[in-house]
Amino acid sequence: MSRIVLKSFVCAFFVCAVSSAVFAQQDSLRAPSRLTIGGYGEAVGSYNFFSDNPNRYTHAADYKDDKGHGRVDLPHAVIMLGYDFGRGWSFGTEVEFEHGGTESAVEMEAEEAGEFEKEIERGGEVALEQFWIQKRFGEGLHLRAGHIVVPVGMTNSNHLPNQFFGVYRPEGENTIMPCTWHETGVSLWGRLGSWRYEVQLLPALNSRMMNRSGWIHDASASAYEFRVANHLATAARVDYQGVKNLRLSLSGYAGNSFNNDIRTDSYSETSRYAGVKGTVLVGAFDFDYDNGQCIVRGNADYGYLADSYMITQQNLSQNHSSASPYPHDKVGRNAFALGLEAGVNLLRNQGHQRLFLFAHGEHYDSFIPAENVLDDEWTRRTVLSVGVNYYPLPQIAIKAEGGVRLLKEAFNNEPWMAVGITWSGMFR
């Protein structure tokens, strides 16, 4: 009798276990995954039909007939991870390998009597561009804290390779502002009908890192293991999508950049820099129209730097070591970037395949100096290009582009061509 009871118990347990496993598998198939994995990347090659000598602007005539130079690159290779903890809590991160990452090693050199040497085998950067935790209170309000993207301008908010036609990111915004701009801070954002808004509190920029070739592009960088935050700044963005296929956006940034560095003891109230704030103001408008067959995008960005003359004097002074990470360069009072691109799909009714023929134009200047600072003029540029984007699938694009960078008459124009293959998508 006991054997019969035991066998019955074992059979019942086995049936329950199998049934539970089957139902659990069915539930897991029905339930959405809390983990999301995705990313994007670019592999490109280009040939520039002009000199790569760093003196080509200061002595333009000496390099007018120089041969060109070719390059291959991995501008961005990014892995994105996200997780939904439930109850409105979620996490997101984005790790970016720029230009192939970095490679260094210690090697023993046989041709140098077996000495050990540290070799830098490949340049590049590894950056943690996003690393945040978020609480959702509803569609209209989210609180995000951690390392976040600063959504000022068109490119910072739309930097995936399927969000622009060119082989490389738009040149103007990528020159005058950090791109992709990311800081550790706090963000409030939400969607209200056709509107999306975002407001951020961030560490301010560092005026010592500014220069004439890139205005504030490098001012969010830090050579230290921490980001100096003597001053705080704010950034904001509003998107309107109440018209079919159209997005209209306004964004801006405000913060004081002077004395936002690791050394502050030399700027007392009695010094020549007393009262200098280096206020940075940036305003931007951008739009995107996409009906599937025709795409038009554009941007207009304008920036202002208060006390730019005093900041230039401080940056050019000899009060800091030549081994410091600062560029020791002039910086402009203003900078601007204008851009427009349009493309039309030549493959209609071809399923997922699309072939866009596009034209692209930009006009920008990273150095508009104060009245008593000499204008170098080579920083004002117009970029014109045409090309194609072929999408065998929505997530993959094969790009080809040719164009010219037009400078003022005293300098040499810079023609170029480039090709690339890009991808962007979510794995799960």
Q: Give the per-residue pLDDT at 287.
A: 98
Phi-psi region of 220 (alpha: psi -120 to 50; beta: other; left: phi over 0): alpha
Cβ(357)–Cβ(314) below 8 Å: no
Q: What is 291-313 written as a DSSP string?
A: -SSEEEEEEEEEEEETTHHHHHH
Q: Give the per-residue pLDDT at 25.
A: 45
CB neighbours of residue 83 within 10 Å: 16
User: Distances from the Cα of 371 to the Cαs of 16, 235, 292, 309, in angstroms?
Assistant: 84, 29, 47, 9
Helix (H) or strand (E) holding 22: helix 2-30
List, for the chain, all residue ranges whose pLDDT scores fall below the cut of 70. Answer: 1-32, 104-121, 264-270, 318-323
Q: Does domain 33-101+122-264+278-426 have CATH number 2.60.40.10?
A: no
Q: Give the per-residue pLDDT at 30.
A: 47
Strands (E), 209-353: 232-240, 246-256, 279-290, 294-305, 334-345
Q: Quote the CA–CA distance of 22 and 30 in Å, as a whole number.
A: 12
180: preceding bond cis by omega (within 30 degrees) = yes
**In b/e form, how buried is each residue of 234-245, taking b as 16+ CB within 10 angstroms?**
ebbbebebeeee
Q: Quote the CA–CA distance of 88 and 137 in Å, as a whole number.
A: 7
Q: Quote the CA–CA distance of 22 and 28 in Å, as a whole number.
A: 10
Q: Give the per-residue pLDDT at 50.
A: 95
What is the SS3 assignment for 27?
helix
Q: Quote the CA–CA distance of 152 and 280 in Å, as a whole number.
A: 13
Q: Quote the CA–CA distance of 362 and 338 in Å, as a whole number.
A: 5
Cβ(250)–Cβ(235) below 8 Å: no
Q: Give the per-residue pLDDT at 406.
A: 98
Cβ(202)–Cβ(188) below 8 Å: no
Both structure tokens of 145:
């804290």
Domain spans in the chain, listed from the N-terminal domain onward: 33-101+122-264+278-426
Q: Give the per-residue pLDDT at 51.
A: 93
Q: Which residues pair with 201 in a beta bridge?
A: 186, 234
Q: Give pLDDT tens digits for 265-307.
A: 556 555 788 889 999 999 999 999 999 999 999 999 999 999 9
Phi-psi region of 362 (alpha: psi -120 to 50; beta: other; left: phi over 0): beta
Strands (E), 114-156: 115-122, 125-138, 141-149
Phi, psi of 6 (to 5 degrees): -65, -45
Q: Quote the CA–CA distance of 157 and 141 in Å, as a whole number.
A: 19
DSSP state of 268: -
